[in-house]
Chain A
Amino acid sequence: MRGRENRFLLLMVAPAIVVGAAFFLLPLARLAVVGATGKLGIAAYTAVVTNPQYFQALASTIVLSVTVTVATLVIAGIAGVFLERNHFLGREALISMLTLPLAFPGVVVGFMVIMLAGRTGLIGEITSTFGAGRLVFAYSIAGLFTGYIYFSIPRVILTIMAAAEKLDPALEEAARSLGANPWRVIVDVILPALKPALIASGAICFATSMGAFGTAFTLATDIKVLPIVIYTEFTLLANIALAAALSMVLGIITWATLALSRVAAGATAAAAG
């Protein structure tokens, strides 16, 4: 009985295994092999650490992604709880506007950042009108940060709103009755309850930022992020082995972060019941 059941299950999963093997595992294995068969051999994998240029790209990508994730969690966390709690005229419209960036590819987001803070951007015009000189930050890390924040917020805000909806208001009232001021209520009640949602959406936010290409490409910033370096090595320099090795490193870091966050979120979810 049991054997037959297993065979049946195997049969059902077979298509997924075939597709997964053909279009994911095989290219991934090939990528891993290619990465070690260039001029540098297996050393291509360590180049990301030993070569200052690559290491710089990796470091700035990670710093940017972490900063974007933290900033997004703070902004979207506060906004998400606020939107869940307060009902006002235009709330629905505001929520759908906040989720609008999901509809745009990274290229368009980059374009919008240029319109805002580029050489002929809105902010520059305003500051020069007030005689403060033309403020331009679209092509620096601040421009990247702005663009990344823009498309990260909707991913987090919806998750936070769903989690905030499940918060029992009696919990906060209980804490307050015991003498907790509003700040303590946030630290002791609201944040612990939102922790699984913050970890899960923060991990997605980090992974998206690590791999984002379109925005960085459009902004053509003076700071190179890793996806841009990979693109340059592959397309312009035909350094296929190195591009493959860098891709593997980028993938492993992002995947490990997601896996870790799943473990952490699972643990807190279990603790919170």
Chain B
Amino acid sequence: MNGKAGTAIRLVDCAKTFPNGTRALDKTSLEMRGGETIVFLGPSGCGKTTLLRVIAGLESPDEGGRVYFDDEDVTSQPIEHRNVGMVFQSYALFPNMNVGDNIAYGLKVHGVAPDKRARRVDEMLRMMQISELRERRITELSGGQRQRVALARAIAVQPRVLLLDEPLTALDALLRERLRIEIDVLLHSLGITAAYVTHDQGEAMAIGDRIAVMNKGAIVQTGSPREIYYKPASSFVADFIGTMNRVTGTLRGGALELPGGRIDWADQQGSGEMQVLFRPNDARIVEEAGAPLRGVVEQQFFLGDRTRLHVTGVADRTVVVETTEHREFRVGQSIGLRIEPGALLRLRD
């Protein structure tokens, strides 16, 4: 209960090797500012959950690793002394207690008086808009209601940091989207430091102040959602977040030459063959006459809010282009494309 919103968290050289020899996490150092929401994003087995569990105190880092909450070294503290809130994919609500008792559990353990406890539970129920569920048994709740109760239970004790491990993965798509927004609003209104684990890049983009992309036990890039999306540091990040076109062209005379035309690229140094990347929505469809690039529609997918085209002839391989235009395209139709040089990306690896 002595927790306050906005605890800064610092990991120093935290690695994790399991007794069977599996190295789940390489030496990782990370700073989370107070009140910041950071998302650990990556494929399964990338170490994101292990990292979360090291922060929680459910796993202790290998020799040499340290975990700090503000200036306090909590490395040797077990989870029950760290005052962290946890939300699990499986909700992990106590089936032998009703909704109200679940939310009150942490307060009870901390020795909060019954009347004060009840007031706090009321407040939590109102905040999560589930006041009518107070007396319900857990088995009578839907998945979305369960996750709201789990959030309320974690927040009720005013933890120093909130840790969410794939909290929306078990829910259906529509509910996931709605709860994602609610969680984002909630985290920012509380001003609490939060770490959120997910494999879903859409969730990461929507919730994270910062995203730490992870692969094979290491953080490969940390940055704002925009930085991660438009300035991926490696081809792994580029490919993991959204769709990325990867084409090979030749830089000659201040322009990048592709099979379907050329892109003026005056400020680019060097010359010769090179690989460049661009996002599907960075290629604009233009009048074919006088277009810098030309291609042929191979396939089209109407996605409701946008249309996705597979276009051949532009580059050495099929490129994906997205447009919000309402017009319909025909397979086999010739189209013109324009890609601003600023949208082109060169990667070192």
Chain B contacts with A in 76-112, Cβ cutoff 8 A: 78-81, 83-86, 88-90, 92-96, 105-106, 109-110
B95 touches A273 (CB 8 A): yes
A178 touches B105 (CB 8 A): yes
In the bound complex, CA of A177 to CA of B88 (Å): 11
Contacts A178-B106, A179-B106 given; indicate if A272 touches B96 (C-beta within 8 A). yes
A179 touches B92 (CB 8 A): no
Contacts A168-B90, A170-B90, A271-B137 given; indicate if A177 touches B80 (C-beta within 8 A). yes
Query: Does A91 count as interface, using CB distance less than 8 angstroms?
Result: no
In the bound complex, CA of A171 to CA of B95 (Å): 9
In the bound complex, CA of A189 to CA of B88 (Å): 16
Chain B contacts with A in 101-138, Cβ cutoff 8 A: 105-106, 109-110, 137-138
Residues in A whose Cβ lies below 8 Å from that of B154: 177-178
Query: Does A85 count as interface, using CB distance less than 8 angstroms?
Result: no
Query: Does A174 count as interface, using CB distance less than 8 angstroms?
Result: yes
In the complex, besides A174-B92, A177-B84, A178-B109, 9 extra interface pairs with C-beta distance below 8 angstroms are A170-B88, A171-B94, A173-B86, A177-B163, A179-B110, A179-B157, A180-B80, A192-B94, A273-B137
Closest beta carbon of chain A to B225's beta carbon, Å: 28
Residues in B whose Cβ lies below 8 Å from that of A181: 80
Contacts A171-B94, A272-B95 given; indicate if A177 touches B139 (C-beta within 8 A). no
Contacts A189-B94, A273-B137 given; indicate if A177 touches B56 (C-beta within 8 A). yes
Residues in B whose Cβ lies below 8 Å from that of A193: 95-96
Could you give, for residues 178-212 of chain A, a 1 whenever the CB lies within 8 Å of some chain B CB and a 0 otherwise? 11110010001100110000000000000000000
In the bound complex, CA of A177 to CA of B86 (Å): 6
In the bound complex, CA of A171 to CA of B150 (Å): 11
| Residue in chain A with minimal CB distance to B85 | A177
Total interface residues in chain B, CB < 8 Å: 31
Chain A contacts with B in 97-142, Cβ cutoff 8 A: none
Contacts A178-B109, A179-B109, A179-B110 given; indicate if A188 touches B58 (C-beta within 8 A). no
Query: Does B153 count as interface, using CB distance less than 8 angstroms?
Result: yes
| Residue in chain B with minimal CB distance to A271 | B96
Main secondary structure of the interface of B (DSSP, over half): mixed
In the bound complex, CA of A237 to CA of B110 (Å): 66
| Residue in chain A with minimal CB distance to B82 | A177
Chain A contacts with B in 136-181, Cβ cutoff 8 A: 168, 170-171, 173-181
Total interface residues in chain A, CB < 8 Å: 20
In the bound complex, CA of A177 to CA of B80 (Å): 5
Report, nearest first, the 4 A-B pairs whose CB atoms are least far apart.
Answer: A178-B106, A273-B139, A170-B92, A192-B96
Q: Which of A168, A179, A180, A192 contacts B83 (CB 8 A)?
A: A179
In the bound complex, CA of A193 to CA of B96 (Å): 8
Closest beta carbon of chain A to B291's beta carbon, Å: 56
Residues in A whose Cβ lies below 8 Å from that of B153: 174, 178
Closest beta carbon of chain B to A180's beta carbon, Å: 5
In the bound complex, CA of A273 to CA of B159 (Å): 29
| Residue in chain A with minimal CB distance to B165 | A170
Chain B contacts with A in 56-82, Cβ cutoff 8 A: 56, 58, 78-81
A184 touches B86 (CB 8 A): no
B92 touches A168 (CB 8 A): yes
In the bound complex, CA of A273 to CA of B110 (Å): 27
Which of A176, A188, A192, A272 is most buried by chain B, counting CB atoms within 10 A of its CB? A176
Residues in A whose Cβ lies below 8 Å from that of B80: 176-181
Closest beta carbon of chain B to A261's beta carbon, Å: 18
| Residue in chain B with minimal CB distance to A185 | B80
B110 touches A174 (CB 8 A): no
Closest beta carbon of chain B to A187's beta carbon, Å: 11
In the bound complex, CA of A140 to CA of B296 (Å): 96
Residues in B whose Cβ lies below 8 Å from that of A174: 86, 88, 92-94, 150, 153
Closest beta carbon of chain B to A237's beta carbon, Å: 52
Contacts A179-B80, A271-B137 given; indicate if A171 touches B105 (C-beta within 8 A). no
| Residue in chain B with minimal CB distance to A179 | B109
In the bound complex, CA of A42 to CA of B89 (Å): 64
Which of B88, B89, B138, B157 is most buried by chain A, counting CB atoms within 10 A of its CB? B88
B83 touches A188 (CB 8 A): no
In the bound complex, CA of A56 to CA of B151 (Å): 58
Closest beta carbon of chain A to B337's beta carbon, Å: 49
In the bound complex, CA of A239 to CA of B236 (Å): 88
B88 touches A175 (CB 8 A): no
Closest beta carbon of chain A to B195's beta carbon, Å: 13
Residues in A whose Cβ lies below 8 Å from that of B109: 175, 178-180, 184
Residues in A whose Cβ lies below 8 Å from that of B86: 173-174, 177
| Residue in chain A with minimal CB distance to B102 | A174
Closest beta carbon of chain A to B319's beta carbon, Å: 44
| Residue in chain B with minimal CB distance to A178 | B106
Residues in B whose Cβ lies below 8 Å from that of A184: 109
Chain B contacts with A in 137-186, Cβ cutoff 8 A: 137-139, 150, 153-154, 157, 159, 163
